[in-house]
Structures are given as C-alpha cells and as structure tokens.
Structure 1
Amino acid sequence: MRSTRRSLDNPRRNVLLTALTGIVLVYSLVPLVWLFINASKTQADLFTSFGLWFSDDFALFSNIQDTLAYDDGIFGRWFLNTVLYVVVGAGGATFLAVLGGYALAKFSFPGKKAVFAVVIGAVAVPGTALAVPTFLMFSEMGLTNTPWAVIIPSLISPFGLYLMWTFAAQAIPTELLESARMDGAGEFRTFFQICLPLLGPCIVTVLLFTMVATWNNYFLPLIMLKNPDWYPLTLGLNAWNNQASTVGGDAIYNLVITGALLTILPLIIAFLFLQRYWQSGLSAGSVKE
C-alpha cells in the first residue's frame, strides 16, 4: 500500500513521452512565435531580416493601426461578420446539438437506429463534399451572397450531435430523470434545471469545436459570398494577400500577417476562458462515489 501511495505521489517520468511532448509543444508554438515576431516588422523588414527574430524597427502597434484603418476600416467589418457567424452559427449549432443529443440519449422512438446511422454517416462525410450541392440549393432559394448562406450550414454539426449524444447517455442517470418526473417536474424543467448542468463539460467541448470550425471557415464563404462587405476574416485576409498578384494591386504582407495575429487572439482568449469549465467538469465527472 505504501509503495502504491508513493508511486502516485511521485509518478515515474517517461523520458520518451516527455521528449515527444516537447516536440509537439515546439511544433505548436513556433508558428505563433513567427506570427508575433513578423507582425512587428515593416513591409521592407519582412524580406531583409531573419524570420524568427525581431528587426531593428518594432512596428507592431503601427501595423495594428494600419490594419484597422486600411481600406476604410474593412478589417473591423470582417471581424464583426466573423463574430456574427460564430455567435449565431456556432452558438446555434451547440444549442441544437444539446437538444438533439439529449433527446436521442434519453428518449425512445421509432427509427432511432436509423437516425444513429444517418448521424454517423454525416460525421464521415467531409464538409467540402457538400459545398457545391449546398451552393446550388441556396442559389435556388436566393440566399447566396447573404449572411444566411454561411450561418444556416453552420447550424448543423453532426460531430457535435454525436458527441453530445454519447456523453448524455452516460452523464445523466435514468433514475435521476424518473425521480424528477415523480416529483412533478415537467420535461422542460427537468432538462434546464437538472440535466443541463450535468452536460456542462460536453457543452463547452462542442462549443469550442463549432466555434473554431466557424471562425476558421474558408471554403463555404468562398463559394457563397461575392460581396466583400460580408466576408469573414479568413476570406478577407486572403483577398488582401492576393492583391500583390493583381495588376496595380498593393503588396501589404505586413498587414496580412498582423491581421492574422489579430484573428487568432479571440480564439486563444476563448480557450483560456473556457478551459477551466471544461477541465473542472471533466474532473468532477471522473470521480466515482
């Protein structure tokens, strides 16, 4: 017993695993470091200085100012568009995944196995394979080149639905639902007051997945949108990057890199803010009493 307690207090370090973890950490951080360093350089210094070290002229703040002011402040419009797509699209996808996953996990109805097969099949189909049929359908409805062409497809998250389904089946005891119903609680009260707190860790997980997928969405807006006023950040920065290859276009690589840095900051903040709810919920669910 004493040796077991000692092994738990002082776990053995695996050198190979530690080395692999360090390699993955470096692989993940180097692009972020490169992005921050080069966002602090002027257009000329990008091509005359070492990529992983600062130049003599620290121009980060001037680059941020120029990025926000370029082309009448279109970057701010793209940022608000992206926030709109994330709040409505990713938020709606998470809400629908919670409702659908809970219903599929805790209610029995005819055709449930068929629904399960459809969900699994939808998870296996890549989104790019459905982009052209989705475009043709939205074109017939006259919704292309509008925000709805990006928001409506983002509301469907088969992986989020499957994840919520499997989590709800284990996290919510059937006896708890039966006790609530015997006490006179309705289905809506049972769901929102009893079940929803138990689904917290999975809700945060699905929200993070859908938020990142919507924030980084590129191909769907590319085929759906023509008006730059409705571009998300991914499409707008790509348009800036392509200016250098057009006749009479300005090369603004320093603004593209700075815009990319500003684009990833909200995702980093969201992960740092939500991880405590994620980790605390997962730790609480791993304790068996």
Structure 2
Amino acid sequence: MAVSTLPAAVARPGTRDARKGRRSFTQRVRPGSHLLLIVFALYFLIPLWWLIVASTKSNSGLFTGSGGPLWFNSDFHFVDNVKGLFSHDGGIYWTWFRNSVIYAVAGGVGATVISLLAGYGFAQYRFRGRRFLFSVLLGSLMIPGTALVIPTFVLLSDLNLVDTMWAIILPSLLSPIGVYLIRVYAQDALPQETIDAARVDGAGELRTFFRIALPLLRPAVVTVLLLSTVATWNNFFLPLAMLRSPKLLPVTVGLGNWQSLSMAGAGNEQAWNLIVTGALLSIIPLVVAFLALQRYWQSGLALGSVK
C-alpha cells in the first residue's frame, strides 16, 4: 500500500486542509486591512468634521471655545454665521458662489463634450498621425496646470479676454485626462461588431454615435463630467491670475481674499467664522453632484462585470 510522503503540515491544493488554510489566512489579514481602511477614512473625514464643527462657532469661539477643535461649543452660531456670510461685504459671497456655478457648469459640460468627441475619435477612427497625437496628449498629462497659467495669461491678454469670464471658461474646456479616459473606456465598452453592424444597416456616423455609442459610454461621460466640474470649481491659481474685478471672482479666490485680510489684521475685520462657513457651503454642490451621479458609475461597474 502506497504511503503519502507529504508532510502533515503541507496540504494538497483543493483539499479541505488547504481551504481551511486559505480561510485562516484571510481571517488573519482581514482585521489589519480593515484597520488600514479605518485609518484612511479618518484621514479624509476628520477635516470635513472639523469644517462642520467650526462653522457652528463664533469668531472668538474658534480659538478659545470650550469644546476643542473637534467638538461643538456650548453656544451654537451656525445660523448667525450664515446670516453674517450673506450680508458681509455687501453680500458678495452670493456673487462669488454664482460665478463658481457658471464656471463649473460651463467648463465641466464643455470639457466633457470635447473630451467625448476627441476620445471617441481616437478609439474608433484610424487616421494619419493618430498615435503621435495621442502620445502628445499623454505627455500633456505630465505638465502641471499651474505651469500653463502664465502662457495662458499672455495668450488671453493678446485677445483682450483677461478679467472676463471667458478667461476662466476657455482654459477649462481642455481636459487631456478626460480625452484619455473616454478613449480607454470606448475601446473596451464599444463592441466593434455592433458599430460595424450599424454602419452596414445604413446608419450614419452621427446616428451611430448618438444611438449606440453614447448610451454605452455614459459611465465614462459622467466620470469626466464630474472630474471636470470639480476641477473647475476648485481652481484657484487660474482665476487668481486672470481676474481683477471682485465681482468676477469664484468662491475659492474670494474666500482666499477674506483670509488674507483676516491674517493681515491692522484694523481689518476678523471673519474667520464666515470663511469657515463659506467653505462648508461651497462644498455642498459637489457632494450633491456626486450623490446624484454615482448610480451611473454603478451601472458602469455592472457593465464591466457582465463583460
């Protein structure tokens, strides 16, 4: 009778002992991975929690409150802070907020449309110089946006567009990362057989794009839309260099100006509580946009799992 020479501690793949070993290894790893995820979650959530707590404090309570930096004081000033924010400096915060909405919507939608058309073209059409142009596009991803502000300022200055809304909207229409994401997603999400069948059936390029390609590209379009909108909303250096009129500033630069005045002192009104409250209100549209559009990402993930 043959006797197994395998040591008792070594189990053959697929046996019960091997499965038990894999389960025990998973159980050993899981608590550590959960702890790491908790640490990362706290790292991102603590600043948001501080912002919520700080918006309920008065200007003096931010520095001398009894609740500490991460907890509420005995007095609650959120409503007073909101009222003060809307009336401070002639209520210009609403003007900044409106400007941010205009810049974000125009820049986000425009960048998404351009990225969609360019990415779809790179994915579906073969033309001379296609690889070279896409390589240039990938190379542009390595260039930080702040390095292009000065050349952009000189260009728009020659066109007499400095200190206008177009100085923010036009540069925001270019999104190399959006083109890249659409092109990569289109290569996997668009079956070439379906596109060819539509063309054989007599559908034109525009009809094929709107009736077949666009519904399949919806998760990528929503991703690019949200990324472009958030990038335009959070943009600080570009409007700081392009705009001079206070009534054209976005909320990021406007709050930055209030912060500079509060830090300077010398008789300037201290408005730290208004700055914190304004920062909290400025992130609400981004949170709402993410919650409203996340279902399209879930549908994209489901599509990928089916494929």
TM-score in same-fold range (> 0.5): yes
1:243 matched to 2:297? The reply is no
Q: 2:214 aligns with which of 196, 205, 214?
A: 196
Q: 2:297 aligns with which of 278, 281, 287?
A: 278
Tell me the SS of whatever aligns to 1:124.
coil
The residue identity in structure 2 corresponding to 1:264 is I
1:265 matched to 2:281? The reply is no
Q: Return the alpha-carbon distance in structure 2 between the equivalents of residues 94 and 262 of structure 1.
A: 25
1:254 matched to 2:273? The reply is yes
Q: Return the alpha-carbon distance in structure 2 between the equivalents of residues 129 and 73 of structure 1.
A: 34
1:45 matched to 2:61? The reply is yes
Q: 1:170 aligns with which of 183, 188, 191?
A: 188
Moved more, 13-22 or 220-229: 13-22
Number of residue pairs matched by the alignment:
286
Per-residue CA deviations over 1:21-67 (Å, capped at 9, x if unaligned) read 00011111100110000100011111112111111110111111111
Q: 1:95 aligns with which of 92, 97, 113?
A: 113
Question: Percent identity of the aligned residues?
Answer: 47
Moved more, 153-162 or 13-22: 13-22
1:205 matched to 2:205? The reply is no
**Structure 2 unaligned regions, length at least 5:** 1-13
- How do 1:1-289 residues align onto structure 2 when only pairs under 5 Å count? 14-49=30-65, 50-244=68-262, 245=264, 247-288=266-307
**TM-score when normalising by structure 2:** 0.89
Q: Return the alpha-carbon distance in structure 2 between the equivalents of residues 138 and 29 of structure 1.
A: 39
Per-residue CA deviations over 1:190-219 (Å, capped at 9, x if unaligned) read 101110010011111111211111110000
Tell me the SS of whatever aligns to 2:81.
helix
Larger radius of gyration: 2
Per-residue CA deviations over 1:247-268 (Å, capped at 9, x if unaligned) read 4321100000000000111111
The residue identity in structure 2 corresponding to 1:39 is S
Shift of 1:16: 1.7
Shift of 1:284: 2.0
**Structure 1 unaligned regions, length at least 5:** none
Q: Return the alpha-carbon distance in structure 2 between the equivalents of residues 255 and 197 of structure 1.
A: 44
Shift of 1:280: 2.0
Tell me the SS of whatever aligns to 1:144.
coil
The residue identity in structure 1 corresponding to 2:161 is L
Shift of 1:283: 1.7
Shift of 1:188: 0.7
Taking structure 1 as reference, are residues 44 and 246 closer, same or farther at Cα in structure 2, changes over 3 Å only? closer
Tell me the SS of whatever aligns to 1:240.
helix
Q: CA RMSD in A?
A: 2.0
The residue identity in structure 2 corresponding to 1:32 is L
The residue identity in structure 2 corresponding to 1:125 is I
Shift of 1:2: 12
The residue identity in structure 1 corresponding to 2:281 is L
Q: Return the alpha-carbon distance in structure 1 between the equivalents of residues 218 and 189 of structure 2.
A: 10
Q: Return the alpha-carbon distance in structure 1 between the equivalents of residues 193 and 265 of structure 2.
A: 66
Q: Return the alpha-carbon distance in structure 2 between the equivalents of residues 74 and 184 of structure 1.
A: 56
Per-residue CA deviations over 1:93-133 (Å, capped at 9, x if unaligned) read 01110110001100011110111111011111110111111
The residue identity in structure 2 corresponding to 1:249 is N
Moved more, 176-185 or 227-236: 176-185
Q: Return the alpha-carbon distance in structure 2 between the equivalents of residues 30 and 242 of structure 1.
A: 24
